C-alpha cells in the first residue's frame, strides 16, 4: 500500500512546512495551519531558519557552521553576484531528517528571506514528495525584485535591470541568469501553487516561470474572535485620543519606502485642512514623520507584536489608509474591515478586489494623492456612506476571510493532492 493510500485510509495527514521563521506573521509562515493540523489530530512539522517558540514539532534548520556560512559567505557572495536563494546550505540539511522523510506533503511558505534555503533543493524534494508552495509576492516570477513596480521584463526573461535598489537589493545585474534558474527549477518540478488574491493569480498566469503549474486562490483568514468591532471611545482612551477627534491610521516603512505609498499619504495629508483635532495612528516604522507633526497629532506605534494593541488601534481609527502601489493581498486592510474601520486603497494592486471596492471600501486612482485626500474628506463627512461601508466590510470578512475557512481550504487541498495517484 502506498503512502498516499495509507494517509487516505487512516484519515491522518503528515504535513511538513518549510519557512523562514515561526514567530511574527503566523498567517504568512504557516504557523496557523500547523497549529490547526495538530489540533485536528494530523501530524505536522515545521522546518525554519529562525525558531522562537518552544514547539517540539518546529525544527531549526542547519547547524552553527551552516548558519554562519549562510549569513556571511553565502549572503555576501549572492549580494555581489546578484543572486538570491541559490548558495545557502542550511536548508539542505533537511534531507537527513526523519520528519522530512516521513512527510506526506511539503508546503513551502516564505523561503526567500534570511538566506537559508536554496531553490535548487526543490526539484530534489519533489522527486520524493508532493509539494505545494504559497507564493506570497511576485519574487518567484522575477529576476530579483519582490515587486516589479511597472517593469514588464519579468514576462520575457529580465536582464538590463534598472531597479537595483528594489528589495532584494543587488550590486550586480544577474537578473537574466536568476530568472533562468527560477524557470529551470519550476519546469523541473511538479508543484501546486497557492496565492491569496485574484491579482496574484493573474500574475502567475502571465509568468513564463510559473504559468504551467496548477494554482489555487486561498485568501488569508482573520481570527474574528480577536479582530472585531469594539467600543471605539474606550479604545481611544488607551492612546490618549479624544472621543470627538478624527483618526486616520496607516503603515509607514520609512521615508524611502516605494511600496506602501508613504509619499502619497504625506501629500494627501499635507493638502488637507483638518476640520477638528486629527490624530494619526502609524503602524510599523518610527521616525521621519516630523513633516506631519505641525498639522496632526502623530502617534507612532512602531512594529507591535501585541495583537491587542493592533486591534485597539484599528478600532480607534475612523479610516485606514492603504495606498500601496504594489500589494499581493493586504492583510491589514482585511483586519481593519473586521474591526469595522473602512479602508481607502489605490487601484492596480490586489487590494480593490480584496476589499470588494466600491462595495466594501474605497479605491482611488493609483499614485493620485488628490484623489486620496478627496476620499478621506468624503468618508469623514458622508455618514451614510461610512455606515454602509462598515456594514458591508463586516459582512464580506465573515463570508470570505475567516480563519476557519482559510484553514479548511488548505486541508481540503492537501487531501485532494494526497488522494491523487
What pLDDT shows up at residue 256?
81
Determine contact, residues 165/139, Cβ cutoff 8 Å: no
What digits encode the pLDDT tens for the residues 101-123? 999 999 999 998 778 999 999 99
pLDDT the model gives residue 11: 86
pLDDT, residue 10, reads 53
Residues of the chain with pLDDT under 70: 1-10, 24-27, 421
Cell numbers representing residue 209 in the block: 516561470
CA distance to 17, 106, 188, per residue, from 358 (Å): 37, 38, 42
The DSSP letter of residue 249 is: E
Q: Are 16 and 106 in contact (CB under 8 A)?
A: yes
Contacts of 148 (CB under 8 A, 6+ apart): 138, 142, 154, 326
**C-alpha of 250 from chain center:** 16
Domain boundaries, the chain: 3-221+403-418, 232-400
**pLDDT for 266:** 96
**pTM above the 0.85 mark?**
yes
Which residue, 119, 117, 125, is CA-closest to 101?
125
What per-residue confidence (pLDDT) applies to 73?
A: 93
Torsion from C-alpha of 343, 347, 348, 354, nearest 10 degrees: 40
Fold match between domain 3-221+403-418 and domain 232-400? yes
Rounded-to-integer distance, Cα 339 and Cα 44, Å: 31
In degrees rounded to 5, what are phi and psi of residue 237? Answer: -60, -35
Report the b/e string of 198-210 with b at 16+ CB within 10 A.
ebbbebbeebbbb
Predicted pLDDT at 260: 92
> The C-alpha cell of 141 is what?
516570477
Tell me the three-class secondary structure of 116-159, residue by residue: CCCCCHHHHHHHHCEEEEECCCHHHHCCCCCCCCCCCHHHCCCC
Report pLDDT for 303.
81
* Total residue count of the chain as it appears in this document: 421
Q: Are strands 343-346 and 362-364 parallel, antiparallel or unpaired?
A: parallel
CATH topology of domain 3-221+403-418: Rossmann fold (3.40.50)
Q: What is the pLDDT of residue 28?
A: 73
Domain 232-400 classified CATH 3.50.50.60? no
Amino acid at each position: 500500500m502506498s503512502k498516499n493510500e495509507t494517509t487516505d485510509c487512516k484519515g491522518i495527514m503528515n504535513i511538513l512546512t518549510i519557512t523562514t521563521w515561526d514567530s511574527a506573521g503566523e498567517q504568512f509562515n504557516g504557523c496557523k495551519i500547523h497549529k490547526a493540523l495538530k489540533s485536528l489530530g494530523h501530524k505536522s512539522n515545521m522546518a525554519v531558519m529562525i525558531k522562537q517558540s518552544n514547539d517540539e514539532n518546529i525544527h531549526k534548520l542547519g547547524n552553527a557552521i551552516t548558519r554562519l556560512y549562510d549569513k556571511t559567505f553565502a549572503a555576501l557572495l549572492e549580494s555581489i553576484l546578484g543572486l538570491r536563494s541559490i548558495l545557502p546550505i542550511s536548508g539542505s540539511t533537511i534531507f537527513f531528517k526523519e520528519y522530512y522523510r516521513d512527510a506526506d506533503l511539503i508546503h513551502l511558505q516564505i523561503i526567500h528571506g534570511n538566506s537559508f534555503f536554496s531553490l535548487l533543493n526543490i526539484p530534489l524534494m519533489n522527486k520524493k514528495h508532493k509539494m505545494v508552495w504559497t507564493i506570497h509576492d511576485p519574487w518567484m516570477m522575477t529576476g530579483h525584485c519582490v515587486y516589479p513596480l511597472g517593469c514588464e521584463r519579468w514576462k520575457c526573461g529580465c536582464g538590463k535591470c534598472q531597479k537595483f535598489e528594489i528589495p532584494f537589493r543587488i550590486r550586480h545585474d544577474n537578473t537574466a541568469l536568476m530568472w533562468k534558474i527560477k524557470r529551470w527549477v519550476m519546469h523541473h518540478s511538479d508543484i501546486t501553487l497557492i496565492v491569496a488574491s485574484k491579482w496574484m493569480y493573474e500574475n502567475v498566469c502571465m509568468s513564463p516561470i510559473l504559468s504551467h503549474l496548477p494554482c489555487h486562490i486561498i485568501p488569508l483568514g482573520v481570527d474574528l474572535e480577536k479582530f472585531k468591532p469594539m467600543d471605539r471611545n474606550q479604545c481611544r482612551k488607551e492612546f490618549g485620543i479624544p472621543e470627538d477627534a478624527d483618526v486616520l491610521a496607516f503603515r509607514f516603512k520609512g521615508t524611502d519606502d516605494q511600496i506602501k505609498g508613504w509619499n502619497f499619504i504625506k501629500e494627501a495629508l499635507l493638502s488637507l485642512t483638518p476640520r477638528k483635532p486629527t490624530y494619526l495612528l502609524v503602524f510599523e516604522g518610527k521616525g521621519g514623520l516630523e513633516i506631519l507633526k505641525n498639522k496632526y497629532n502623530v502617534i507612532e506605534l512602531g512594529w507591535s507584536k501585541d495583537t491587542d494593541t493592533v486591534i485597539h488601534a484599528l478600532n480607534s481609527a475612523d479610516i485606514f489608509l492603504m495606498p500601496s502601489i504594489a500589494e499581493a493581498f493586504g492583510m491589514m486592510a482585511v483586519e481593519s474591515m473586521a474591526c469595522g474601520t473602512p479602508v481607502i486603497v489605490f487601484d492596480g494592486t490586489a487590494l480593490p478586489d480584496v476589499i470588494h471596492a466600491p462595495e466594501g471600501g474605497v479605491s482611488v486612482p493609483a499614485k493620485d494623492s488628490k484623489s486620496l485626500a478627496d476620499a478621506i474628506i468624503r468618508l469623514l463627512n458622508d455618514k451614510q456612506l461610512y455606515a454602509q461601508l462598515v456594514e458591508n466590510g463586516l459582512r464580506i470578512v465573515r463570508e470570505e476571510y475567516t480563519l476557519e475557512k482559510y484553514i479548511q481550504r488548505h486541508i481540503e487541498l492537501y487531501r485532494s493532492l494526497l488522494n491523487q495517484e
